[in-house]
């Protein structure tokens, strides 16, 4: 009897000790977890994450990104996307500046300039690049942009460039309007510069850094944040629970992770290039410089007969490149008839009784700004949000229109975004009921230009999944994707936001949303084809054409 009693007391003591241990562990965990389930995490010497809180999270290459959990279909798609953008830059070793591509010594020739051209004909141009010693280049890899244009007609369209990997390039144009049509070819970056951009993308994805402010009472600390962070210091893990999108900050020394109050761009790393590499990025020398023609740089295009024109309409309807062209400063898509919304009343009539959601970066915030400026009845409601950051809201009570803008989640290079406003587009889409009076527009690209493509692919995969689910539950919802666009480039901007980086993002975006049931506003072609200088935030005439296309999807012409 006494033995049994002693065993019972011993069991109770052990149970009590075990409960105390469990309680201590739980209290310790609660101290480091907030309502967003942020936790302190460490990175080991190999650069991989070590955390008991988050498993199976996708990482970019320098974070152990290759260990992400993907289905066989997702893995196959990602491999296909990465393979589709294997830029062929031969490894020829260090190249001195004088042997790099010189746009002023290079030239182009219109191959079939003596032919009779009609609207719809193909024009072929051969480009031959040379170095600064006026010697022919023997390899390719240069990034060229090409367009045809007629200044008097305010007309323009882009061309398709083919690299033959021997210093020769061929550019194919479709002649889409009658009159005198000029050819313009420009060197965006020489192949030697592209190699540098590749190395930065692979080895320095953290060259834009971010920060967050943590505050509790009178104590405040600021720490660095990113998709992942190097070293062995403790981290706050702000990985999103629903999408699995990773985001980390160095843990403050005196404050818990739950005290984070905002997010902002920290800055840009300096001294990224050697003196030799810097020579490949010179304004007025080899960044977005024109390549001249060695002969005529124009052709004359004549109209087709009425019968031929009708056949051409069928031809244009099935064409995919270029997706459209400018004529008299109006964008003309080749797949459908675009409406012109030149009067505010036209826009009001189109958007009446609708809720319009704009998600993404500042290039789609331009749409919000254009609509609230151009349509007087659409009045912005002051939410007290930081300027140029949002969220923003505009209302037309008379016509029952609600317009919303919200920026996408990190990485985002805005000045200051409150922690509560750091929301991922996929999660926002999951909260939308949808229907015939719901319109969604998305633009997510510019802030991903410094990261390996896998990071962008992951973000689009999450957004696409949410879009598909939205269209499944509400098929009449209109979803529009705005593509990337070209911008002005200088020596520094090229290292962070080069058109070459954004061309990759644009290519991935188109492929991933192909066949999903969304509409595409081709901002890429709409900036390249226009006569105005490239800008990250295009001028109003281009934005107006983007909005006309967007609204044409919402309120198409009756047929």
Domains assigned to the chain: 97-190+285-306 (2.60.40.10), 208-268 (no CATH), 324-554 (3.40.50.1110)
The pLDDT score that the predictor gives to residue 154 is: 98
E strands, 227-340, where? Answer: 235-237, 248-250, 262-268, 289-293, 298-302, 324-327, 330-333
The listed range with the strongest mean pLDDT (20-24, 261-265, 313-317) is 261-265
pLDDT surpassing 70 at residue 319? no
pLDDT of residue 384: 80
Question: Pairing relation of β-strands 160-163 and 168-174?
Answer: antiparallel
User: Model confidence at 554, in pLDDT bands (50, 70, 90)?
Assistant: very high
Q: Is the pLDDT of residue 47 over 60?
A: no
Per-residue confidence band for 52, with pLDDT thresholds at 50, 70 and 90: very low
pLDDT tens per residue, range 68-84: 778 889 889 998 899 88
pLDDT of residue 533: 97
Average pLDDT over residues 381-407: 91
Angle at CA 128, nearest 5°, toward 124 and 130?
165
Rounded average pLDDT over 339-347: 97
Mean pLDDT of the chain: 87
Q: Give pLDDT, residue 48.
A: 27
In this predicted model, what pLDDT tens digit does every residue of 492-514 receive, in sequence order?
A: 999 999 999 999 999 999 999 99
Q: For position 64, what pLDDT does the model report?
A: 63
Q: State residue 37's pLDDT score.
A: 32
User: How confident is the model at residue 53, as a pLDDT?
Assistant: 32
Q: How many CB atoms are closer than 10 A to CB 305?
A: 10
Task: Tell me the C-alpha to C-alpha distance, in Å, between residue 126 and each of 160, 188, 207, 284.
Answer: 12, 17, 37, 23
Mean pLDDT of 211-239: 94
Task: Give me the pLDDT at residue 14, please.
Answer: 52
Q: Report the C-alpha gap between 246 and 223 in whole angstroms.
A: 17
Work out the number of other CB atoms within 10 angstroms of the CB of residue 500. Answer: 19
pLDDT (average), residues 476-490: 97
What Rg value do the Cα atoms of the chain yield, rounded? 27
pLDDT of residue 200: 95
Can you give the pLDDT at residue 18? 44
Residue 360 per-residue DSSP state: E
Is there a contact between 281 and 494 (Cβ–Cβ < 8 Å)?
Answer: yes
Residue 279 has pLDDT above 80, yes or no: yes
Q: What is the pLDDT of residue 66?
A: 61
pLDDT exceeds cutoff 90 at 439? yes
- Structure token pair of residue 525: 């072609």
Highest mean pLDDT among 63-67, 417-421, 428-432: 428-432
- Run of H or E residues at 371: helix 362-374
pLDDT at 437 over 80: yes
| pLDDT the model gives residue 558 | 77
Instruction: Provide CB contacts within 8 A for 423, sequence distance 6+.
Output: 406, 409
pLDDT tens-place string over residues 235-258 = 999 999 999 999 999 999 999 999
Residues 255 and 233: their CA atoms lie apart, in Å, by 15
Question: In 3D, which of 233, 220, 229, 210 has the Cα closest to residue 261?
Answer: 220
Q: What is the pLDDT of residue 21?
A: 38
* pLDDT at residue 17 tops 70: no
Instruction: Please give the average per-residue pLDDT across 404-432, as a whole number.
Output: 95
pLDDT at 25: 35
The full DSSP string for 183-210 is EEEEEEE-HHHHHHHHHHHHH-TTSEEE
Residue with the bigger pLDDT between 387 and 176: it is 176
pLDDT per position as a tens digit, 104-128: 999 999 998 777 899 999 999 999 9
pLDDT band at 488 (very low <50, low <70, confident <90, very high): very high
Please say if the pLDDT value at position 318 is more than 80.
no
pLDDT band at 86 (very low <50, low <70, confident <90, very high): confident
Cβ neighbours around 160 below 10 Å, total: 12
Q: 281 or 5, which is more confident?
A: 281
Closest among 371, 428, 420 to 399, alpha carbons compared = 371
| Reported confidence tier of residue 63, pLDDT bands at 50, 70, 90 | low
* Size of the chain, expressed as the number of residues it contains: 559
Per-residue pLDDT of 147-163, as tens digits, reads 999 999 999 999 999 99
Say whether 131 sits in a helix, a strand or coil. strand
What local confidence, expressed as pLDDT, does residue 23 receive? 36
- In this prediction, residue 309 carries a pLDDT of 54
Q: With 90 as the cut, is the pLDDT of residue 531 above it?
A: yes
Does position 218 have pLDDT exceeding 90, yes or no?
yes
- Reported as a single tens digit per residue, the pLDDT across 290-314 is 999 999 999 999 998 765 555 555 4
């Amino acid at each position: 009897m006494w033995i049994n009693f002693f065993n019972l007391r011993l069991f109770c003591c052990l149970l009590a000790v075990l409960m105390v241990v469990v309680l201590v562990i739980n209290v310790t965990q609660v101290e480091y977890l907030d309502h967003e389930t942020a936790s302190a995490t460490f990175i080991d010497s190999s650069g991989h994450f070590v955390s008991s809180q988050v498993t199976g999270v996708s990482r970019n290459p320098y974070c152990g990104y290759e260990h992400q959990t993907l289905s066989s279909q997702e893995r196959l798609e990602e491999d296909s996307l990465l393979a589709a953008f294997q830029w062929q830059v031969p490894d020829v070793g260090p190249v001195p500046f004088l042997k790099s591509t010189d746009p002023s010594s290079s030239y182009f020739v219109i191959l079939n300039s003596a032919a009779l051209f009609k609207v719809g004909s193909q024009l072929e141009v051969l480009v031959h690049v040379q170095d600064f010693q006026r010697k022919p280049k023997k390899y390719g890899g240069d990034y060229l942009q090409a367009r045809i244009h007629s200044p008097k007609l305010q007309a323009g369209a882009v061309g398709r460039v083919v690299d033959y990997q021997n210093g020769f390039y061929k550019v194919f144009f479709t002649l889409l309007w009658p009159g005198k049509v000029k050819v313009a070819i420009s060197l965006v970056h020489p192949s030697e510069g592209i190699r540098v951009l590749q190395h930065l993308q692979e080895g320095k994805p953290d060259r834009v850094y971010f920060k967050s402010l943590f505050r509790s009472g009178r104590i405040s600390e600021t720490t660095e944040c990113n998709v992942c962070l190097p070293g062995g210091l403790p981290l706050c893990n702000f990985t999103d629970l629903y999408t699995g999108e990773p985001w980390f900050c160095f843990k403050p020394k005196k404050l818990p992770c739950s005290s984070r109050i905002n997010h902002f761009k920290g800055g840009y790393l300096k001294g990224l290039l050697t003196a030799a590499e810097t020579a490949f990025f010179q304004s007025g020398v080899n960044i977005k410089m024109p390549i001249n023609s060695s002969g005529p740089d124009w052709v004359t295009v004549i109209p087709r007969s009425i019968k031929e024109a009708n056949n051409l309409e069928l031809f244009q309807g099935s064409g995919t490149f270029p997706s459209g062209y400018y004529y008299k400063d109006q964008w003309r898509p080749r797949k459908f008839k675009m409406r012109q919304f030149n009067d505010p009343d036209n826009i009001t009539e189109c958007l009446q009784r609708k809720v319009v959601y704009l998600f993404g970066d500042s290039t789609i915030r331009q749409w919000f700004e254009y609509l609230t400026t151009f349509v007087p009845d659409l009045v912005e409601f002051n939410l007290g949000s930081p300027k140029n950051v949002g969220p923003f809201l505009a209302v037309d009570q008379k016509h029952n229109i609600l317009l919303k803008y919200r920026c996408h989640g990190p990485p985002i290079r805005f000045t200051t975004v409150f922690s509560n406003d750091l929301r991922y587009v996929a999660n926002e889409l999951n909260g939308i009921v949808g229907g015939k009076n719901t319109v969604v527009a998305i633009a997510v690209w510019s802030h991903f230009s410094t990261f390996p493509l896998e990071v962008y692919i992951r973000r689009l995969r999450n957004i696409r999944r949410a879009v598909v689910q939205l269209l499944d539950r509400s098929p009449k919802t209109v979803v529009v994707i705005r593509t990337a666009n070209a911008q002005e480039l200088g020596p520094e901007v090229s290292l962070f936001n080069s058109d070459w980086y954004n061309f990759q993002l644009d290519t991935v975006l188109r492929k991933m949303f192909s066949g999903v049931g969304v509409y595409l506003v081709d901002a890429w072609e709409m900036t390249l084809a226009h006569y105005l200088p490239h800008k990250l935030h295009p001028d109003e005439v281009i934005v107006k054409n983007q909005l006309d296309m967007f609204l044409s999807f919402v309120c198409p012409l009756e047929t």
